[in-house]
A and B are shown apart, each in its own frame.
Chain A
Amino acid sequence: MRKGIRLTITILLAVLSLTSNYGARADEWEEGFFKANQAYKVGNFQEAIEGYLRLIRTGHGGGQVYYNLGNAYFRAGQLGRAILEYERAQLLMPRDADLNFNLSHARDQTLDAIEESRGFIETAFFWVKSFNLNELFWSFALLNLLLWTILIIRLFHRSEWLYYLLLLILSSWFVAGLSFGIKYYWIRSDDRAVILQKEVNILAGPEGNDTVLFKLHEGTVVYQERSEDGWSLVRLPDKKRGWVKSRAIGLISDDHPATSIPPHPLRRQPLPAQ
């Protein structure tokens, strides 16, 4: 009896300590977020950038943190990094009106006129871009639950309306599943990268003395095919290809909560001392 009481008390204390730790850490994140916002508001954009980056590295990169980071980069005159962070934010909150406006505004500032091509799947499943992966997953999970629930009901009771309801849910389940699958594939195979330097030479090979094929400017989105020895082979929508120093581009899917597999090693570490 005494042993049971002791065990219960121990468990309760452990739970309380965990929740209090969580609460303390939540306060810490929020404080970091507020401080970064404050730095942005007084025009100290570099401090704001560091604050947001710290939050992201510790696993608190919600869509709004990436958005704010993009804003801070924009104000600091780093258009490429601003677009990179806006693109990352868009993966998490694709319907945010402020974000879409700012991203569009930032894209307008870029120098390279590159037409984005839309493939058949992107055109046919146009709505997929308007939802993030979480939303698509939970929509699919809900429809999945409904579908199997109706199938279970039909084992015991069959009626016409149940049949039509099943057809409706089944078609929705199919569309939602396909949408989720497409989004999942897009995110897993997202090879988009943003040019981070004012102007970069795109070379014929991964050597500094190779022929310059063309030049790209800050903020232009390219597709990274592969990278080796600090060089990346990039492709434009019009099929132009060439090599660029890997540090001159930023991968949109790199170090991103929705795409990092496995999680970034810096994740879930305590906040460094201020």
Chain B
Amino acid sequence: MKKIILLLVFSIFILVPCQTHAEVLVTLSLDRQEATPSDSIRMVIKVSGARSCDSSPVIKGLDSFQVSPGGSSSRVEIVNGTFSSSVDYTYYIQPSRAGTFQLGPAEVKVNGKIFQSNISTLTILKAASPESPAKGPIFLTAALSSKKAYVEEQVLYTLKLYLKISASDISLQLPELDHLAFKQLEKPREYQGVYDGSTYRIIEVPYGLMALKAGNYGIKPSRMSMTAYDSRRSRRGFFDDPFFRAGRPVTIASQALELKVAPLPDKGKPKGFSGLVGSFKIEATLTPSKIKVGESATLTVRVSGRGNVNRIPDLKMPGLDHIKVYADEPVFEARPDFKGLAGFKTMKWAIVPEQQGDYEIPPFSLSFFNPDTDAYRTIQTAKQPLIVVPGKGKMIMVEAGPGKQNGANKSAKQGVKELGHDILPLHTSVRNLEARASIASGGLFLWLTLLLPFVLYLSTFLGLRLKRRSVRAMPVHRAKRAAKDLIRQCRQGRGDANCLSLCIRDYFNDRFGLTLASLTPEDAADILASKGVGSGAAQKLRAILIELENTVYTGQTRGAGRMNDEIPRLIKEIEREIR
């Protein structure tokens, strides 16, 4: 229960604020921009930021189309804590005639407010008669947007895979030709289309084709390999062909094409022509146009267009009197789409005037060859006036960084640009002025520093080992000395019976590593027997111990002297037998 409550609270905290900040955005999109009157085009009206609409969208520009609704779907997503919702309305439209049509805007009413979508352009071409009708359930076509082109002019090479059956693992092999470069412009798009009266699933792949050298090019067929699956809907007719049984590898080829590439004309070629072919425009802005001496203004020149955009040159800023100019790294971006390769290059200069006055930034010019007009064209920017008033400008010039312009209330972050280079000043501290003793030259002290801990460890280790060894050797040593000590005691003859009895006990303890507090005659005999001493010697010692006990308990003092002679002999005999 607690978990459910927590989940609800969490959902309220997460969802409610997000939803209140959601903005409604309506977009109209088509599955393609070109079609024929027999095609069915998929149109989607996407309403982002709303889970439902008050009514269905009202779409303008559909007078020449037959519209079939394809249903609606809504979606709610929470990704990384960001809540989003949208409703998609799908329509299938079929044109009744050829022409170019503006579809939209679509009007949607959400919470009483009306929102409008973008407008999309759709070109309906006249239905072309199929080159080879009855191509089967699967075939590939290739088409060029133009059969004639200039060197480096971009031509569209469009591959269309027509499928009536399902296929997977599709791979493409493009023809390889010297001086002819293919560049895929966009991801393949998929839609339904009609060919020769039959409906196909069409996969379209656009390529930009560019010839680097003039000549006639025979473009060999492109090949597609895939795994084709038999249709389950029909068990008769064409699909009964064993070729289309499930999961069979298929390779198909498009038709061969020809492209005639002409060289760029020499007539009218501008001086310093960079090889730019296509359609381009150039624009320049200077911000601010009025500054103080020492402050900086930013001159931005942007060249954009469609064609071989990678040839857009880095424009040079001419030298200007009393103005320091610092060039920024140009920014180039290519934007391929279904119409070909487009892009732009943005160049920026920081302009720092050193004197007051009215200046004029000269125009920048750009030459390119326009294949549509078959002529060269030179375009240029307007002159940019710059007014410089007196003032103590900062020596560090700053320039607006990319992507920081939006947000009028925010102070834009600016990157610092170095105006000069020089070495840094002297070190004046006298610390460590004297060179230290060279470690590279070694020296006894340094080696001692490293060796001393090891020597300490070694000494400790050896000391401990020695100590342990002496502790372990003590019993052996005592055992070796036990007999000698007892014999010496007896020979000195100073001990009485009790003393002799204790000496014999000590002998047993030392000799056999025992800790006996008292030793009975029977114990002594057993111990000796266990150590391999013969019964004769053991019994003799037993008898001596009994005699000694008797002597002690009866208070007699005589006889101890005889014992002093007998015990050493017996001990020697026992020692021999132990060994």
Beyond A105-B423, A134-B436, A257-B436, whether A148 also contacts B441 by CB under 8 A is: no
Nearest-CB distance from A138 to chain B (Å)? 9
Q: Is A193 an interface residue (CB 8 A)?
A: no
Whether the pair A98, B427 counts as a contact (CB closer than 8 A) is yes
Tell me which residues from 133 to 158 in chain A have a Cβ below 8 Å from any Cβ of chain B.
Answer: 133-134, 137, 140-141, 144-145, 147-149, 151-152, 155
Whether the pair A101, B433 counts as a contact (CB closer than 8 A) is no
**Residues from chain A with Cβ under 8 Å of B429 in the complex:** 64
Q: Is B234 an interface residue (CB 8 A)?
A: no
Whether the pair A59, B454 counts as a contact (CB closer than 8 A) is no
Across the two chains, which residue of chain B brings its CB closest to A65?
B433
Query: Out of A33, A40, A133, which one reaches B433, CB within 8 Å?
Result: A33
Tell me which residues from 103 to 161 in chain A have a Cβ below 8 Å from any Cβ of chain B.
Answer: 105-106, 108, 133-134, 137, 140-141, 144-145, 147-149, 151-152, 155
**Residues from chain A with Cβ under 8 Å of B421 in the complex:** 105, 108
Q: How far is the CA of A55 from the CA of B434 in the complex (A)?
A: 9
**Residues from chain B with Cβ under 8 Å of A67 in the complex:** 426-427
Q: Is A206 an interface residue (CB 8 A)?
A: no
Whether the pair B433, A62 counts as a contact (CB closer than 8 A) is yes
Q: How far is the CA of A161 from the CA of B265 in the complex (A)?
A: 84
Instruction: Please classify the interface of chain A as helix (H, G, I), strand (E, B), loop, or mixed, using the class held by over half of its residues.
Output: helix
Query: Out of B432, B449, B454, B464, which one reaches A155, CB within 8 Å?
Result: B464
**Residues from chain B with Cβ under 8 Å of A105 in the complex:** 421-423
**Residues from chain B with Cβ under 8 Å of A74 in the complex:** 423
Whether the pair B438, A258 counts as a contact (CB closer than 8 A) is yes
**Residues from chain B with Cβ under 8 Å of A62 in the complex:** 432-435
Q: How far is the CA of A63 from the CA of B446 in the complex (A)?
A: 21
**Residues from chain A with Cβ under 8 Å of B430 in the complex:** 29-30, 33
Whether the pair A68, B464 counts as a contact (CB closer than 8 A) is no
Nearest-CB distance from A81 to chain B (Å)? 14
Whether the pair B426, A40 counts as a contact (CB closer than 8 A) is yes
Q: Is B450 an interface residue (CB 8 A)?
A: yes
Mark interface residues in B427-467 (1 if CB within 8 Å of A CB, else 0).
11110111110111100001001100110110011001000
Number of interface residues of B (CB under 8 A): 29
Beyond A40-B426, A188-B440, A258-B440, whether A61 also contacts B449 by CB under 8 A is: no
**Residues from chain B with Cβ under 8 Å of A151 in the complex:** 457
Size category of the binding interface on chain A? 35 or more
Q: How far is the CA of A59 from the CA of B434 in the complex (A)?
A: 7
Mark interface residues in B395-427 (1 if CB within 8 Å of A CB, else 0).
000000000000000000000000001111111
Beyond A67-B427, A141-B449, A152-B460, whether A259 also contacts B433 by CB under 8 A is: no
Q: Is A90 an interface residue (CB 8 A)?
A: no
**Residues from chain B with Cβ under 8 Å of A102 in the complex:** 423-424
Beyond A29-B433, A62-B432, A155-B464, whether A184 also contacts B423 by CB under 8 A is: no
Query: Out of A30, A64, A148, which one reaches B453, CB within 8 Å?
Result: A148
Across the two chains, which residue of chain A brings its CB closest to B434?
A60
Q: Is A272 an interface residue (CB 8 A)?
A: no
Q: How far is the CA of A60 from the CA of B439 in the complex (A)?
A: 16
**Residues from chain A with Cβ under 8 Å of B425 in the complex:** 71, 98
Q: Is A265 an interface residue (CB 8 A)?
A: no
Q: Which residues of B pack against A, CB within 8 Å?
A: 421-430, 432-436, 438-441, 446, 449-450, 453-454, 456-457, 460-461, 464
Further contacts, 8 of them, CB under 8 A, given A29-B434, A74-B423, A148-B456:
A33-B430, A60-B433, A60-B435, A145-B453, A148-B453, A152-B460, A258-B435, A261-B440
24 contacts between A and B (CB under 8 A): A33-B433, A37-B426, A55-B433, A60-B433, A60-B435, A61-B435, A62-B433, A63-B432, A64-B427, A68-B427, A71-B423, A71-B425, A101-B423, A102-B424, A105-B421, A141-B450, A152-B456, A187-B440, A188-B440, A258-B440, A259-B438, A259-B440, A260-B438, A261-B440
In the complex, the 3 A-B pairs of residues with the closest C-beta atoms, listed nearest first: A148-B453, A257-B435, A64-B427
Q: Which residues of A pack against B, CB within 8 Å?
A: 29-30, 33, 37, 40-41, 55, 59-65, 67-68, 71, 74-75, 92, 98, 101-102, 105-106, 108, 133-134, 137, 140-141, 144-145, 147-149, 151-152, 155, 184, 187-188, 257-263
